Amino acid sequence: MSHYWILAAILLPIVGGVLLYILPFKNKKYMHSYVELIVIITSVITGLVLFKGERGLLEVVHFVNNLSISFKIDGMTVVFAGLIAILWPLATLYAFEYMEHDEREKSFFMFYTMTYGVTLGIAFASDILTMYLFYELLTLVTVPLVMHTLTREAIHAVRKYLYFSLGGAAFALMAMIFIIIYGDSCEFILGGVMHTAAEGEHAPLLLWIYLLSFMGFGVKSAVWPTSSWLPQAGVAPTPVTALLHAVAVVNAGAFAIIRLTYYSFGTDFLAGTWVQYACMAIAIFTIVYGCSRAVKESHIKRRLAWSTVGNLSYIIFGATLMTPLGLAGALSHFVIHGFMKITSFFCAGAFMHVTGKSYVYEMDGVGRKMKCIYACFTVSALGLMGVPGFAGFISKWNLTEAAVESGNGLAIAGIAALLVSAILTAIYMLGVVHRAYFPKNEAVTIENAKDPGWKMCVPIALCAAMTVILGLFASPMVEFFEKIAFGIY
């Protein structure tokens, strides 16, 4: 398959989204089938490109010097693009039901579909400029989604999101410049592209720059101290929070950090320097911080968002180990967290959609009424806690294996943080489960709670099933990640 199909995969949802706005649809059903069709076709193309496509470089536009917009497929691409290609059709299906009573459904789906293309752009980007471009676009295209409800709160949240993201990108841009100047090329090549000479002479400077860019891209994956936008952005409709703020957007941040660390600066250069420790310390702190905030939060979506903050830093922590195993661990959490968190968000959204309530303390006893939803929620909770047999354990296992293997002193603290976060996760997730299944005697259960329609239940069940399946049969996936990390794939 020619690699021009990459372009098709990126552009189809974007164009499709715009067309959606222009085309007149007779009724919702047509529109829904149109959207789902676009998304599924994109996913199919993506899948074909990933596994059958040529491994060449596709240059689209040439900018200054060695800067260009170009795409390619490598291991990381497969991971990210594959993940979202699986999740997007499901999330869209879920969104149909979630958004059914919304007046501005059309504009929602327009941007929702466009975001798909932009995210794919990040995944396929072959060099730092292309990634930066789509990274910025991702910020912008998701803005209408976050502020969809147009409440004061939403607008406030969206502003914060924008400023944080763009600000972060501005800092990351600085790093980009350094890579352009001190690197052999801007392309992502496992092991880094820095001049050896530049590394020697400018090492102290480059380390600072790495830190700067780490913090910059870290904004999107909600690394402390810039994590507060994520919970605030939870005002968005749940399909957005679930897919974008638990998977696509935030993973893009982690993805960018991995790209930068492993493919641009190179781990040989960074490993063992102070900056590695600094970044790792930040990640470790964020892990604990995010989870503690989640415990304190009683709004279900915000709670999950804080949980996301913590979990994303697992990925970052894996990345900062700067060993191939660390990368493999990071990637496994990258994928697995996606499935787990989208499940829990979907469930939370289903609860909110059906009952109109949104706080944990309003969930008394609903587990007995919304059986399917809360069964899945429980699965995701167990997964997030890292109970063996569920996917979360696999990624934790890989991460810690890498941490132990790295022999890095701070990594041991990281393992401890992972476990502290696990217990905190247990507190905030099982707290919910408990309430839902074992309400206090005097508590009042919401009367009208019941399982939502199939459009919601099916995606949720599938994602939950993935959590279990990945937990039990993870070996092929993990081996694949190790291949990527060792540069064999």
Partner 1 sequence: MAFVQNVPFFSIMLSMFSGIVSSILPGKWARRLNTFMIIVVAALSAWLFAFMATSDIGSYTYAMGHFPAPIGNELRAGVLEAGTALFFCIIMLLSLWGGREKQILEITERQQNLYYILCNLLLSSLLALIYTNDLFTAYVFIEINTIAAGGLIMVRQNGHCIEATIRYMIMSLLGSGLLLMGICMLYDLTGHLLMSNIKEQVDIIMAAGTYRIPMLITIGIMTVGLAIKSALFPFHSWVPDAYGYSTVSSGAILSSLVSKGYIFLLIKIFYRVIGFDTIAGSHILNILFIFGLCGMIFGSVSAIGENDIRRMIAFSSVAQIGYIYMGLGLGTEMGVIAAVFHLLSHGATKSLLFVSAVGLTDASGGSRHFTDLTGAAFRNKTAGVGFLVGSFSMVGIPVFAGFVSKLLFAEAAVLLPNWKMFPTLIVLAVSTVLNAIYFLKTVIRIYTPVKPEVLAEKGFECKHFKQQVLFGVTIVLFIIVNLILGMKSQPIIELIEQGLHNFM
Partner 2 sequence: MMLILSIIVPILWGLLILLIRDFKSRNALLAVTGAGLAVAAVLGVAVILSGDAELFLFSFGKNLSLYFHVDNMGRIFAAIVILVWLIAGFYAFEYMKHEKEEKRFFGFYVMVFGILHGLTFAGNMVTYYLFYELMTLLSVPLILHNRSKEAIMGGLKYLFYSLFGAYMVLFGIFFLNKYAVTMDFIPGGTLDMSAVLGHEGLMLAVSFAMIIGFSVKAGMFPLHAWLPTAHPVAPAPASAVMSGIIVKMGVLGVIRVVYYIIGADFLRGTWVQTVWLILTLVTVFMGSMLAYREKVFKKRLAYSTVSQASYILFGLALLQPSGLTGSLLHVVFHAVIKSCLFLSAGAIIYKTGKTNVDDLRGIGKEMPVTIWCYTIAGAALVGIPPLSGFISKWHLATGALESGLGVFSWLGPVVLLVSALLTAGYLLPISIKGFLPGADYNYSEITKKEPKLIMVVPLLILAVLTVLLGIFPGKLTEYISALIGSVL
Binding residues for partner 1, rule: CB under 8 A, are 61-65, 67, 104, 129, 132-133, 136-137, 140, 143-144, 147, 150, 155, 158-159, 162-163, 166-167, 170-171, 173-174, 177-178, 180-181
Distance between CA atoms of residues 486 and 489, nearest Å: 8
Cβ of residue 255: shortest distance to partner 1, in angstroms?
17
Binds 382: which of partner 2, partner 1, none (CB < 5-8 Å by kind):
partner 2
Residue with smaller CB distance to partner 2, 11 or 427: 427
* 177 touches partner 2 (CB under 8 A): no
State the SS3 of the chain: CCCCHHHHHHHHHHHHHHHHHHCCCCCHHHHHHHHHHHHHHHHHHHHHHHHHCCCCCEEEEECCCCCEEEECCCHHHHHHHHHHHHHHHHHHHHHHHHCCCCCCHHHHHHHHHHHHHHHHHHHHECEHHHHHHHHHHHHHHHHHHHCCCCCHHHHHHHHHHHHHHHHHHHHHHHHHHHHHHHECCCECCCCCCECHHHHHHHHHHHHHHHHHHHHHHHCCCCCCCCCCHHHHHHHCCHHHHHHHHHHHHHHHHHHHHHHHHHHHHCHHHHCCCHHHHHHHHHHHHHHHHHHHHHHHCCEHHHHHHHHHHHHHHHHHHHHHCCCHHHHHHHHHHHHHHHHHHHHHHHHHHHHHHHHCCCEHHHCCCHHHCCHHHHHHHHHHHHHHHCCCCCHHHHHHHHHHHHHHHHCCHHHHHHHHHHHHHHHHHHHHHHHHHHHHHCCCCCCCCCCCCCCCCHHHHHHHHHHHHHHHHHHHCCHHHHHHHHHHHCCCC
Choose one: 46-54, 157-165, 309-317, 390-398; the region binding partner 2 (CB under 8 A). Answer: 390-398
| Cα–Cα nearest to 230, from 243, 245, 215 | 245
Bridge partners of 127, per DSSP, are 187
Bridge partners of 69, per DSSP, are 61
Residue with smaller CB distance to partner 1, 170 or 416: 170
* 361 touches partner 2 (CB under 8 A): no
Residue with smaller CB distance to partner 2, 454 or 473: 473
Cβ of residue 441: shortest distance to partner 2, in angstroms?
5
Choose one: 27-35, 179-187, 335-343, 436-444; the region binding partner 2 (CB under 8 A). Answer: 436-444
* 170 touches partner 2 (CB under 8 A): no
Cβ of residue 351: shortest distance to partner 2, in angstroms?
20
Binds 22: which of partner 2, partner 1, none (CB < 5-8 Å by kind):
none
Cβ of residue 137: shortest distance to partner 1, in angstroms?
7
Binds 150: which of partner 2, partner 1, none (CB < 5-8 Å by kind):
partner 1
Cβ of residue 278: shortest distance to partner 2, in angstroms?
23
Residue with smaller CB distance to partner 1, 135 or 390: 135
Cβ of residue 211: shortest distance to partner 1, in angstroms?
13
One residue of 196, 440, 453, 454 binding partner 2 per CB under 8 A:
440
Contacts of 296 (CB under 8 A, 6+ apart): none
One residue of 212, 439, 455, 465 binding partner 2 per CB under 8 A:
439
Binding residues with partner 2: total (CB under 8 A) = 39
Measure the CA angle with vertex 403, ends 405 and 227; round to 5°: 165
Residue with smaller CB distance to partner 2, 51 or 438: 438
Contacts of 33 (CB under 8 A, 6+ apart): none
Residue with smaller CB distance to partner 1, 233 or 354: 233
Residue with smaller CB distance to partner 2, 109 or 393: 393
One residue of 230, 243, 394, 460 binding partner 2 per CB under 8 A:
394
Residue appearing with tokens 């941040």: 253
Binds 472: which of partner 1, partner 2, none (CB < 5-8 Å by kind):
partner 2
Whether 6 and 122 have beta carbons less than 8 Å apart is answered as no
Residue with smaller CB distance to partner 1, 15 or 173: 173
One residue of 385, 432, 446, 461 binding partner 2 per CB under 8 A:
385
* 431 touches partner 2 (CB under 8 A): yes
CA atoms within 13 A on the CB side of 19: 10
Binds 386: which of partner 2, partner 1, none (CB < 5-8 Å by kind):
partner 2
Choose one: 97-105, 134-142, 241-249, 425-433; the region binding partner 2 (CB under 8 A). Answer: 425-433
Binds 385: which of partner 2, partner 1, none (CB < 5-8 Å by kind):
partner 2
Residue with smaller CB distance to partner 2, 25 or 486: 486
Cβ of residue 226: shortest distance to partner 1, in angstroms?
11
Distance between CA atoms of residues 251 and 79, nearest Å: 11
* 375 touches partner 2 (CB under 8 A): no
CA distances from 343 to 69, 78, 125 (A): 34, 22, 28
Binding-residue pattern over the window 447 to 486 for partner 2, x denoting contact by CB under 8 A: ------------------------xxxxx--x--------
Name the site residues for partner 2 (rule: CB under 8 A): 382, 385-389, 394, 396-398, 400-401, 403-405, 412, 415-416, 419-420, 422-423, 426-427, 430-431, 434, 437-442, 471-475, 478
